[in-house]
């Protein structure tokens, strides 16, 4: 089970990184979302994996999962939604303003005219 | 008056001149004067206890854990310097009122001046070296503002920058030195440090600490080779030069050397460095000063020279040297400030400071002439003036000082320096005031009003008074010396006298004066010789060094920071992986302590879907809609994974967030291109894949490694599990952590979420007001539109479902404390319910029916959460302490009431507001000109298309 979770984290990280390195905004945003999943799962897994023992107190139950990473990850999920929304908004604003969804500045090409020629 | 008040007065007073600016120049200067006077009087109220030898202390703990406390101390030395700073400050303020022209912003000037004054007083009264460092940096900053006060002058800006760079660099070095000192002693309190001479001097780090601290002192006090900034700082208005560069700031380095004298001095290192630097500075600057034609440049180099003299005296490490140093600081402050102000008067009246264009001012400006003559002769070391006394003491000390094993070296150089010093003093008098009256002055010079000449005249009274009756100053100087020496040496018995008999110092003094007169006789040939001699220009060297450093930095940084996000991401990823790899290689891994849990077929199936979707996403990311669906699958599998691994709250949160995220991305995709073109080369893709795989491998290894090992320490989760019900009154530990144990965190997080939503709203507003608006309104859809955008099935279904969903949200919210759920999840569920209405029935229809602006909802949420936290103050508990009780209202069963629920309500409202505001902003972008907003829920409505005859058609909103 641990191997499954660890590989899942690794694959999501790799996929996220690859997409983050793309040149257009949309894949970069998706890549960051993938990285967010990976990080959240990673943080969650720091409480080690427990099956069938939720952090809800019950009489007679002695094994519980680690509640602290869960609490931290819960807020992280919500915050990452806010951050994704902001990044999407910025990307959208940039695209609408410049009609270009490149992540990096593009070198000026066509619109530089040689001097002296109108 | 409390020491705190003395230090704080100038800082708070600095707010006033700006406010009084419009009330007129006199009011502005008057309020500044009053502030300084109050601090001055406050200082004087402490005089009796200082005179009786007590040390006045004031202390407030600031950050005791760091050893940083707001501790102030007033002893003889501190009192002496504070007296100089505040006393001369008063004269300068009066002088500046008349000096500055109508074009100068007086409020700005006096604000800077008071900031500087406060920082200087802070330095001399600090008992904590960290506090002292803070004030030290503040003087660098405020003097930067003062030197660059005439912003329109390039020299002013350059001089200010140079001063800041040099003194700032020294300040940095000094921070290092002071921290070492604090580490050696184990305390940052001066009173403790000063009592540990042996401990410090025996420490192997003594020499580095000494060098670093001296770097700070030498840069501040313009000692060779850092002397060059002071003359360039003369571009400042003359009151600034008179204040900063004669009496106060440049003395800060001397002050610190005096303050640290008991613990740092007396070693060969101290003697060698300080005496040599002082001696070189004194001689070199005196020679340069003689050949400067700008009055202020001459005075600047002469100041450097005298600072060197005092440094040398402190360097000798004898009690007599320290006493002479203190006495000369006093004397130098009086005659040099007077000279600077007089130079300002000449500049003000004759409109030039060039000595070659002056001369013969004696009859035109008799008052100024008397002031300058007395002050300059004192500087030259003529008897019956105070400069003579301390110079005599300096020469006396020099005869007892042996440097590099050559007993003649120090006396000879001291006499040589004094000779040049006397010469430039004579030149100052002779070439400016004596000689024939000229008829080519830029302006007709005459004596100024009393406002300008009175402040220097007051100083000259001291020059003459101390010169004639040195016994008046003697007790005070000895008191100051005693506090410099600490308990390390006896105050010398020597008396301050004009006539000491035929001692060597007298002959050296005579030689210097006579030599100075002779040198003036051959001034013109000497000047030609000087002009012919090659000499390095400090400013050019300085600028070359700065330029070289900047070029190096540019060469290092530009390849890394070329403005391309992709490059940052690559470098960042590689750096993180490399750091992890280093840790992995250099560390050791313990054996696994946990056994691997067997994988169930369901888990494997889930894993396959997750991995498949991720791989598909990467491979097919060019089709953006498809990739959105695939990432939805990934999110879904992650939330199922959370549920599988005993995290029901997380699963619900992830699931609901997934829904709103996908809606958000769909809204964005509406505008963006639907496909990503192939742009990067194969090589580049291989490189990116390499980075990605390396990063993935790293995280996999790390995760796998710790999943099979138990935590090294006991996790604090045990505490949470044990106290959740007892202390927080809830059985859902995750929720109790969120709203109780770590409530403050959560409070911060809902604020961040709210800010993010407001940011999105603000960006949308900006877009809709700018040039993008027209483009958005005239946009042609690039995809075929649905014929029935708001189908009846959907409208009806969502309306039926709406109360049910709200009910579920309410239920999830209420049970959150004890069962999976809570404010976050409930907020997301309710948001989804509202979003469904937007999607099914259209933007206009839904907006018209929602009365509450989402900003207000966010604000209400944060307010409720905050007020809940504040509520605990009223019962004397810290912020956000929760409480709960059980009540029973018949006929219901007993139930729990917790303040945490109120806090959770705040969380709930913030989440709803933030999610809705973000989504609403996005959908506002989608409205177009060619489509009028429909206020009907459905596009096709049989009853609307065949209206009953008496129904009135509602007016349509125009866009």
- Which residue range forms the structural domain that includes residue B923? 730-779+787-943
Residue A60: inside a domain, yes or no? no
- Binning pLDDT at 50, 70 and 90, where does residue A116 land? very low
pLDDT at position B433: 87
Residue A7: inside a domain, yes or no? yes
Residue A46: inside a domain, yes or no? yes
ipTM: 0.91
- Binning pLDDT at 50, 70 and 90, where does residue B933 land? low
pLDDT at position B362: 83
pLDDT by residue (tens digit) across B427-468?
A: 888 888 888 888 787 888 888 888 888 889 999 998 888 888
Decide if pLDDT at B941 tops 70. Answer: no
- Touching check for A94 and chain B: CB below 8 Å? no
- From the CB of residue B268, how many other CB atoms can be counted at a distance below 10 Å? 8
Residues of A in contact with B565 (CB under 8 A): 28, 103-104
- Touching check for B829 and chain A: CB below 8 Å? no
- Touching check for B617 and chain A: CB below 8 Å? yes
Residue A70: inside a domain, yes or no? yes
Chain B residue with minimum CA distance to A64:
B721
Check if the beta carbon of residue B272 is closer than 8 Å to that of residue B217: no
Nearest-angstrom CA–CA distance, B153 and B140: 20
Nearest-angstrom CA–CA distance, B460 and B768: 70
Mean pLDDT, range A28-42, rounded to an integer: 94
- Touching check for A103 and chain B: CB below 8 Å? yes
- The kind and range of the H/E element at A85 are helix A67-98
- Touching check for B776 and chain A: CB below 8 Å? yes
- Binning pLDDT at 50, 70 and 90, where does residue A112 land? very low
Decide if pLDDT at B640 tops 50. Answer: yes
Dihedral angle over CA of B692, B697, B700, B704, nearest 10: -170
Nearest-angstrom CA–CA distance, B307 and B162: 19
Chain B residue with minimum CA distance to A19:
B618
Decide if pLDDT at B472 tops 90. Answer: no
Mean pLDDT, range B231-255, rounded to an integer: 85
Mean pLDDT, range B122-129, rounded to an integer: 90
Q: HEC states along B627-675?
A: HHHHHHHHHHHHHHHHHHCCCHHHHHHHHHHHHHHHHHHHHHHCCCCCE
Decide if pLDDT at B951 tops 70. Answer: no
Q: If contacts are CB pairs under 8 Å, which of residues 561-590 in chain B contact chain A?
A: 563-567, 569-570, 573
Residues of B in contact with A13 (CB under 8 A): 692, 695-696, 698-700
Residue A72: inside a domain, yes or no? yes
- Which residue range forms the structural domain that includes residue A80? 2-51+66-98
- Touching check for A36 and chain B: CB below 8 Å? no
* Phi-psi map region of B65: left, alpha, beta (phi>0 left; psi -120 to 50 alpha): alpha
Domains identified in chain B, total number? 1
- Binning pLDDT at 50, 70 and 90, where does residue B661 land? very high
Residue A88: inside a domain, yes or no? yes
Structure tokens at B380: 């030259």
pLDDT at position B928: 64
Greatest Cα pair distance in chain A: 89
Nearest-angstrom CA–CA distance, A41 and B746: 20
Decide if pLDDT at B954 tops 60. Answer: no
Residue B79: inside a domain, yes or no? no
Mean pLDDT, range B123-140, rounded to an integer: 90
- Touching check for A78 and chain B: CB below 8 Å? yes
- Touching check for A35 and chain B: CB below 8 Å? no
pLDDT at position B64: 78
Decide if pLDDT at B230 tops 70. Answer: yes
**Contact: A70, B650; criterion CB under 8 Å:** yes
Mean pLDDT, range B186-191, rounded to an integer: 86
**Contact: A93, B725; criterion CB under 8 Å:** no
- From the CB of residue B583, how many other CB atoms can be counted at a distance below 10 Å? 10
Burial of B627-643, coded b for 16+ CB within 10 Å and e otherwise, reads bbebbbbbbbbbbbbbb
pLDDT by residue (tens digit) across B853-909?
A: 899 999 999 999 999 888 888 887 878 787 777 777 777 777 777 888 889 999 999
CA distance B60 to chain A (A): 37
Residue B89: inside a domain, yes or no? no
Terminal Cα-to-Cα distance of chain B (whole angstroms): 68
Chain B residue with minimum CA distance to A51:
B645
Residue B138: inside a domain, yes or no? no
Residues of A in contact with B759 (CB under 8 A): 86, 89
Residue A116: inside a domain, yes or no? no
pLDDT by residue (tens digit) across B756-799?
A: 999 999 998 888 888 888 777 777 777 777 777 788 888 899 99
Residues of B in contact with A18 (CB under 8 A): 618, 688-689, 691-692
φ/ψ (deg, to 5) at B924: -65, -30
- Binning pLDDT at 50, 70 and 90, where does residue A115 land? very low
Decide if pLDDT at A118 tops 80. Answer: no
Nearest-angstrom CA–CA distance, B232 and B56: 38
Q: Which of A70, A84, A98 is the best substitution to test chain B (most B C-beta atoms within 10 A)?
A: A70
Residues of B in contact with A8 (CB under 8 A): 607, 610-611, 641
Decide if pLDDT at B944 tops 50. Answer: yes
β-strands B884-887, B895-898 pairing: antiparallel
Terminal Cα-to-Cα distance of chain A (whole angstroms): 69
Residues of B in contact with A6 (CB under 8 A): 700-701, 703-704, 707
**Contact: B665, A29; criterion CB under 8 Å:** yes
Residue B74 β-bridge partners: B56
Residue B758: inside a domain, yes or no? yes
Mean pLDDT of chain B: 86
Nearest-angstrom CA–CA distance, B316 and B270: 8
**Contact: A57, B644; criterion CB under 8 Å:** no
Domains identified in chain A, total number? 1
pLDDT by residue (tens digit) across B26-54?
A: 888 888 999 999 999 999 998 888 888 78
| Coil, strand or helix at B936 | coil
Residue A103: inside a domain, yes or no? no
Decide if pLDDT at A38 tops 90. Answer: yes
- Binning pLDDT at 50, 70 and 90, where does residue A113 land? very low
């Amino acid at each position: 089970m641990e191997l499954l979770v660890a590989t899942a984290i690794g694959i999501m990280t790799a996929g996220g990184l690859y997409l983050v390195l793309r040149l257009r905004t949309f894949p970069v945003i998706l890549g960051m979302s993938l990285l967010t999943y990976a990080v959240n799962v990673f943080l969650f897994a720091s409480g080690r994996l427990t099956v069938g023992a939720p952090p809800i107190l019950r009489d007679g139950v002695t094994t519980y999962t680690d509640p602290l990473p869960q609490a931290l990850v819960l807020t992280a999920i919500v915050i990452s939604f806010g951050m994704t929304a902001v990044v999407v908004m910025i990307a959208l604003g940039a695209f609408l303003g410049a009609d270009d969804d490149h992540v990096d500045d593009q070198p000026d090409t066509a619109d530089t005219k040689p001097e002296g020629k109108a | 008056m409390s020491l705190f008040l003395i230090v704080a007065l100038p800082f708070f007073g600095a707010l006033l001149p700006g406010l009084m600016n419009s009330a007129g120049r006199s009011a502005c200067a008057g309020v500044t004067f009053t502030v300084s006077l109050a601090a001055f009087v406050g200082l004087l109220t402490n005089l009796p206890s200082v005179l009786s030898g007590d040390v006045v202390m004031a202390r407030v703990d600031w950050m005791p854990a760091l050893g940083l406390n707001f501790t102030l101390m007033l002893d003889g030395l501190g009192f002496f310097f504070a007296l100089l700073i505040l006393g001369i400050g008063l004269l300068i303020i009066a002088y500046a009122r008349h000096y500055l022209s109508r074009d100068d912003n007086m409020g700005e000037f006096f604000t800077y001046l008071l900031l500087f004054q406060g920082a200087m007083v802070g330095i001399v009264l600090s008992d904590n070296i960290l506090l002292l460092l803070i004030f030290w940096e503040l003087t660098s900053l405020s003097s930067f503002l003062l030197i660059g006060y005439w912003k329109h002058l390039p020299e002013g800006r350059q001089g200010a920058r140079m001063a800041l760079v040099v003194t700032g660099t020294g300040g940095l070095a000094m921070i290092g030195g002071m921290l070492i000192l604090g580490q050696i002693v184990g305390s940052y309190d001066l009173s403790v440090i000063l009592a540990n001479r042996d401990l410090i001097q025996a420490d192997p780090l003594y020499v580095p600490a000494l060098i670093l601290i001296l770097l700070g002192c030498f840069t501040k006090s313009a000692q060779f080779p850092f002397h060059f900034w002071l003359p360039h700082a003369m571009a400042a208005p003359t009151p600034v030069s008179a204040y900063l560069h004669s009496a106060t700031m440049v003395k800060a380095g001397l002050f610190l050397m005096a303050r640290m004298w008991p613990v740092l001095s007396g070693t060969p290192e101290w003697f060698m460095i300080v005496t040599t630097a002082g001696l070189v500075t004194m001689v070199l600057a005196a020679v340069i000063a003689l050949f400067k034609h700008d009055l202020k440049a001459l005075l600047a180099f002469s100041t450097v020279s005298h600072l060197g003299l005092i440094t040398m005296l402190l360097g000798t490490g004898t009690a007599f040297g320290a006493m002479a140093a203190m006495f000369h600081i006093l004397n130098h402050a009086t005659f040099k400030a007077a000279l600077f102000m007089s130079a300002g008067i000449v500049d003000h009246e004759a409109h030039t400071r060039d000595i070659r264009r002056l001369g013969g001012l004696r009859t035109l400006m008799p008052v100024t002439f008397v002031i300058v003559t007395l002050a300059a002769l004192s500087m030259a070391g003529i008897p019956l003036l105070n400069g003579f006394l301390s110079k005599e003491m300096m020469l006396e000390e020099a005869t007892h000082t042996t440097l590099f094993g050559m007993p003649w070296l120090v006396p000879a150089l001291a006499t040589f320096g004094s000779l040049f010093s006397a010469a430039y003093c004579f030149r100052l008098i002779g070439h400016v005031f004596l000689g024939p009256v000229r008829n080519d002055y830029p302006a007709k010079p005459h004596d100024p009003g009393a406002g300008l000449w009175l402040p220097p005249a007051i100083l000259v009274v001291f020059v003459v008074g101390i010169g004639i009756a040195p016994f008046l100053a003697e007790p005070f100087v000895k008191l100051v010396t005693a506090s410099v020496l600490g308990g390390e040496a006896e105050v010398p018995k020597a008396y301050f006298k004009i006539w000491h008999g035929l001692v060597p110092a007298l002959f050296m003094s005579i030689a210097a004066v006579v030599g100075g007169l002779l040198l003036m006789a051959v001034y013109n040939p000497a000047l030609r010789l000087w002009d012919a001699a090659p000499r390095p220009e400090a400013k050019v060297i300085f600028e070359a060094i700065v330029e070289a450093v900047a070029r190096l930095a540019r060469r290092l940084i530009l390849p890394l920071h070329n403005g391309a996000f992709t490059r940052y991401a690559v470098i960042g990823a590689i750096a993180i992986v490399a750091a992890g790899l280093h840790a992995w290689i250099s560390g050791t891994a313990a054996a696994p302590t946990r056994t691997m849990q067997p994988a169930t077929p369901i888990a494997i199936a889930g894993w396959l879907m997750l991995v498949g979707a991720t791989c598909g996403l990467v491979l097919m990311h060019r089709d953006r809609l498809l990739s959105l669906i695939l990432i939805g699958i990934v999110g879904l599998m992650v939330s199922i994974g959370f549920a599988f691994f005993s995290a029901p709250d997380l699963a619900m949160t992830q699931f609901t967030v997934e829904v709103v995220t996908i809606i958000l991305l769909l809204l964005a995709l509406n505008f963006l291109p639907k496909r990503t073109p192939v742009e990067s080369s194969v090589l580049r893709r291989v490189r990116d894949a390499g980075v990605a795989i390396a990063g993935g491998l790293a995280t996999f290894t790390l995760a796998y490694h710790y999943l099979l090992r138990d935590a090294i320490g006991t996790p604090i989760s045990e505490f949470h599990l044990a106290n959740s019900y007892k202390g927080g009154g809830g059985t859902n530990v995750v929720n109790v952590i969120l709203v109780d144990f770590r409530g403050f965190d959560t409070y911060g997080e809902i604020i961040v979420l709210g800010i993010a939503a407001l940011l999105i709203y603000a960006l949308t507003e900006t877009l809709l007001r700018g040039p993008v608006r027209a483009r958005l309104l005239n946009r042609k859809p690039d995809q075929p539109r649905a014929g029935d955008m708001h189908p009846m099935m959907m409208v009806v279904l969502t309306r039926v479902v709406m109360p049910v969903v709200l009910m579920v949200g309410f239920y999830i919210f209420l049970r959150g404390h004890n069962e999976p759920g809570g404010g976050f999840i409930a907020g997301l569920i309710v948001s989804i319910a509202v979003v469904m209405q937007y999607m099914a029935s259209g933007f206009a229809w839904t907006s018209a029916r929602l009365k509450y602006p989402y900003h207000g909802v966010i604000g209400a949420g944060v307010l409720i959460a905050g007020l809940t936290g504040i509520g605990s103050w009223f019962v004397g508990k810290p912020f956000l302490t929760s409480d709960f009780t059980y009540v029973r209202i018949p006929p219901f069963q007993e139930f729990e009431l917790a303040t945490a629920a109120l806090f959770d309500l705040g969380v709930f409202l913030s989440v709803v507001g933030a999610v809705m505001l973000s989504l609403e902003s996005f959908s506002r972008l989608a409205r177009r000109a060619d489509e009028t907003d429909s206020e009907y829920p459905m596009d096709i409505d049989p009853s609307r298309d065949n209206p009953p005859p008496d129904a009135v058609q509602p007016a349509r909103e125009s866009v």
